[in-house]
Amino acid sequence: MKVSAICIGRPEKVPGRTYKTGLNKGPVSGAVLIDESGLLGDSVLNRKHHGGPDQAVYGLGSVDLAAWSAELGKTVEPGTFGENLVIDGLDSRIVRVGDRFQTEDILLEVTSTRTPCATLSARMGDPRFARRFYQMARPGFYARVLRNGTMRAGDPVTHIPFDGQSVTMPYLLGLVTKQVSDEERAHLLALPISERLRAALSG
């Protein structure tokens, strides 16, 4: 398993909107510095919902991009969905909260999943794309940075599964449309989830 692409974005106007976004990202060459705040040089404009220490890096697998390419009938390039990191050979549907991804320098810990928004739908030129994103159930993962350093395309990656019972990214995505039981809530709160998710579950 290796880093397939590292992507950053610059502020761009959202098609049909009045605001800007850093969602449209693209691969970069060379090493990128990554710390608790995310990737150096990456634009995160809506910090109410994006970015922060628990959502410092957004990742997908090459298996996810291949599936989306088949679904959309065109090649989906790295960064299309705003991901910072694409891992070759990874299917994000198997990733669980608490899983870790390690390179020579960097150590990431998975905290939560991506949920689609109106900005993503506008970016894709389809007002119904958010629903399509839910249906595909390949949401990718957010991660906090446990060890800072640099990362570049081609770096070997080790996937370290969480030591215990956890939940997958599609499971977390599905919580948006269902009522969480007290047992589920207690289980989730015991995991190393993001503070945004923890606040939502505790509210």
Complete domains list, the chain, with CATH: 2-202 (2.40.33.20)
CB-based contact 85:57 (threshold 8 Å): yes
pLDDT at 69: 95
Who wins on pLDDT, 14 or 135?
Answer: 135
> H or E element: which one contains 149?
strand 149-151
Residue 18 C-alpha from the chain's centroid: 25
Arithmetic mean of pLDDT, 176-195: 89
Q: pLDDT tens for residues 1-29?
A: 999 999 998 877 766 666 677 677 889 99
Q: Is 82 left (phi over 0), alpha (psi -120 to 50) or beta?
A: left
**Predicted TM-score (pTM) of this structure:** 0.89
Residue with tokens 């579950």, as numbered in its chain: 201
Measured CA to CA, the distance from residue 129 to residue 8 in angstroms comes to 22
